Chains A and B, each alone.
Chain A
Amino acid sequence: MLPEKITREMFDKLVSLAALELDEEESEYLRTELNHQLAAVKELSEIQLDEDVQPSLHGIECQGNPPRKDEWQPFPDPDAILALAPEREGRYFVVPEIAQPGQEGQ
C-alpha cells in the first residue's frame, strides 16, 4: 500500500487552516516534502501494538513540584509586555477587525 498523498487541494486547505500563505514555489516544495515525510511515517501504521501499550507523554514519568499555592505575585512590569505590541492604542493591543462571513449587522 502506498502512503497517503496530499493533493494540491488538500494542501491548500491545510495552508489556510494553518494561517499561512505560500507562493507557488514554496507550495510545490513544501507539498513535496510533506508527502515525503508522510511516506517516512508510513511505517508507524504498520507497527502492531499490544493492547496494553500506553501512550507516553514525556518518555519518563515526571516528578515535578506539586501545584503552586494560590498566592498573588504581580508581574512587576506589565507595561514591558504592552510595549512589545506592534500596534496599540492606550493600554490596548490593536488588531484589524475580524471578517465573519454570514454575519448580519455591524
Chain B
Amino acid sequence: MMTQYEIVVGLETHIQLNTETKIFCSCKADSWGAEPNTNICPVCSGLPGVLPVLNAEAVQKAALLAAAMHAEINPVSYFDRKNYFYPDLPKGYQITQFDEPIGKGGYLDVHMPDGSTRRVHIHKLHLEEDAGKTKIEAGRRLVDFNRCGVPLVEMVTEPELHSGEEAAQYLTELRQLLRWIGVSEADMERGHLRCDANVSIREAGSTVLNTKTEIKNMNSIESIRQAITLEAQRQIAAVEAGERVESYTLDWDADTGTLRKMRSKETEADYRYFREPDLLPVKLSEEEIARIESSLPELPYARKMRFIAEYQLSAYDADILTSERSLADYFEETVRLSSAAPKTVSNWMMNDLLRLMNDLGKSASELRLRPAELAEIIDLVESGKISPATGKALLRKVEESGRKPSEIVTAEGLGLIGDEDALRSQIAAVLSESPSEVANFKAGKESLLGWFVGQVMRRTGGKADPKRTRELLLEILRK
C-alpha cells in the first residue's frame, strides 16, 4: 500500500512597519527609489560612539499587531544584541528581541476556500532592525546601508500549515490584516512582507517533526504556493526512493520556477545574545495596553460575517467588500448616507466603483469620489432623476472633476425629462412621423410600444423618463 504523507510547513515572516522613520534613528524608514547610501546617518551605518534611540511609533505598531494576532502584549520587553559578521550589518550585531519580546503567543485563523478554518499559532512576535542590502558585481560585493534600521516585526508560526495552498492563504490573510490595521504596506514585491518557509514531510497521522529544509527568497504569494508544493513533492520522491531528507537552505528562483540549493545548515551559529545595554526596557503600562487593544478595529473576517448578516450580502460580495478596510469603510459609509438598500449599494460598488478604482489604480481611500457622492448618485438613479446609464457615467465625471453629482447633472442637463408637457410634445412629434406604426399599434400590434419608447428616448438623447414615457404613450395611443 502507498504511504500517505503529510506536509508540515512553518513560516517565518518579516514585516516592515510603515513608520515615518527607522527604528533607532531619524532617517526615513522607506528608501524606495533612493540612491544607495543616501538615507543613512551615523547610527544606522554603524559609526562608533553613536547610540540607538527607540522610535515610539514602532513600538505602538508592533503592539497593535500583537493585539491583532491575539498575542499577549508584554508590559516589559527587552532589546538584545544578536552578534555576527556580515557586510550588510554595519554594527556587527543586530538589535532584536530575543527572550522577552513585545508579543507572546497568539494566532491567526486562516479561512480556506472549502469553508474550513485552520488556526495557526505563532510562538513569538518581536521587534528588530533590518539589515542593509548587498549585491554582487564583478566578483565583489557592493553594500548599501539605506535599509539598515528599518523597523521589522518578525513572527514565526508553529509548524501547523500543511500545504503550499495553506501557506499561501496564511500569507494572503496576514497581508490583508497588516494593511487593515495600518501597520505595514505589506507589499511583497517591495519586501515589506518577507517570508521564509520550513518544509518537512511525515507519514500521515504521525506527530514527529522530521528534518526540514528552509526555502528563502519567495517574494510573492504565488511563489510561496509553488515553492512549498514543489519542495514537498521533492521530499516525498526522495523518501520514496529510499533517501534521507537533508537539512539545507533552498533559494527560490521565480523566473524558472525552481529551487536551488544554497548551503548546508550543519551547525547553528552562536549569536551570543545579550541584553542591549544602550537601550532601556520597553515598558507599556496597563492603560497603554488597554488603549492599544481597544483601538484595534473590527477584523476582516468578523466584518465580513457582519456584512452578510446585517446587510444580507452574498458571501462573495462580503468577501470582496472586506478585502481592504478602506473599501469596507467606504461601503458602510455609503450605506449610511444613501436611502437605497445595502444590496443596491453593494451592486454599485461591485460592478462600477471597483472597475473605476481598477482603471485608475486607486484604492477606495484615494478616490475623490467620496461615499457622500456615491450615495447621492445612487439616490438620483433610484428616485428616477437620472437614468442608470447617466449614473454610471457620473461616477467618472465626479472622480475627474471633483464636483458634486447634482451640480454636474444641472450643468450638463443630464436630468431625466419627467415634465408631462415636454414629454407630450416629444411623443406627438414621434407619432406624427410614424403614421404606419401608429396604425399597426391600433390594429392590435401592442408589442410596438417598446419601439415608440425607443424613438422618444432617441429624440431626447436618453433623458426621457422611461417609466413616464411608457405611461403617456399608452394613454395617447389607446385613446
- Number of A-B residue pairs, CB cutoff 8 Å, is 110
Any chain B CB within 8 A of the CB of A34?
no
- Contact (Cβ within 8 A) B55 A103: no
Within 8 A of B (CB), among A70-99: 70-75, 78, 81-82, 84, 89-98
Cross-chain contact of B36 among A70, A72, A90 (Cβ < 8 A)? A90
The answer for the CA separation of A105 and B260 in the assembled complex, in Å, is 9
- Contact (Cβ within 8 A) A102 B260: no
Any chain A CB within 8 A of the CB of B451?
no
- Tell me the minimal C-beta distance from A29 to chain B in angstroms: 24
- Chain B residues whose CB sits within 8 angstroms of the CB of A95 once the complex forms: 87, 140-141, 143
Chain A proximity mask over B57-85: 1 for CB below 8 Å, otherwise 0: 11100000000000000000000000001
A103 to B, closest residue via Cβ = B263
- Chain A residues whose CB sits within 8 angstroms of the CB of B140 once the complex forms: 89, 94-97
The answer for the CA separation of A62 and B256 in the assembled complex, in Å, is 54
The answer for the CA separation of A9 and B312 in the assembled complex, in Å, is 74
- Contact (Cβ within 8 A) B263 A73: no
- Contact (Cβ within 8 A) B55 A68: yes
- Contact (Cβ within 8 A) B261 A72: no
- Contact (Cβ within 8 A) A104 B260: yes
Stretch at the interface among B37-45, B225-233, B353-361, B415-423: B37-45
- Contact (Cβ within 8 A) A70 B56: yes
- Tell me the minimal C-beta distance from A16 to chain B in angstroms: 11
- Contact (Cβ within 8 A) A75 B40: yes
- Contact (Cβ within 8 A) A81 B40: yes
Which range contains the number of A residues in contact with the other chain? 35 or more
- Tell me the minimal C-beta distance from B276 to chain A in angstroms: 9
Within 8 A of A (CB), among B124-182: 136-137, 139-145
- Contact (Cβ within 8 A) A57 B275: yes
- Contact (Cβ within 8 A) A19 B85: yes
- Contact (Cβ within 8 A) A97 B280: no
- Contact (Cβ within 8 A) B20 A94: no
- Tell me the minimal C-beta distance from B64 to chain A in angstroms: 14
Cross-chain contact of B264 among A58, A94, A102 (Cβ < 8 A)? A102
Within 8 A of B (CB), among A50-70: 57-58, 62, 64, 66-70
Chain B proximity mask over A8-32: 1 for CB below 8 Å, otherwise 0: 0000000001010000000000000
Query: Given A58-B277, A103-B262, are A93 and B54 also a contact pair (CB < 8 Å)?
Result: no
**Max chain B C-beta neighbours (<10 A), residue from A67, A72, A102:** A67
Any chain B CB within 8 A of the CB of A100?
yes
Query: Given A57-B275, A64-B280, A78-B41, are A71 and B26 also a contact pair (CB < 8 Å)?
Result: yes
- Contact (Cβ within 8 A) A97 B143: no
The answer for the CA separation of A89 and B142 in the assembled complex, in Å, is 8
Cross-chain contact of A70 among B20, B87, B277 (Cβ < 8 A)? B20
Interface positions of B (Cβ within 8 A of A): 19-21, 26-28, 35-42, 45, 47, 53-59, 85, 87, 136-137, 139-145, 260-264, 270, 275, 277, 280, 282
Could you list 14 further interchain pairs (A-B, Cβ under 8 angstroms) beyond the known A68-B55, A97-B139? Answer: A57-B275, A58-B277, A67-B53, A68-B26, A68-B53, A69-B57, A74-B41, A81-B37, A81-B45, A93-B87, A93-B144, A96-B139, A96-B140, A102-B263
- Ordered by A's residue number, 7 sampled pairs between the chains whose C-beta atoms are within 8 Å are A72-B20, A74-B27, A81-B45, A89-B137, A101-B263, A104-B262, A105-B260
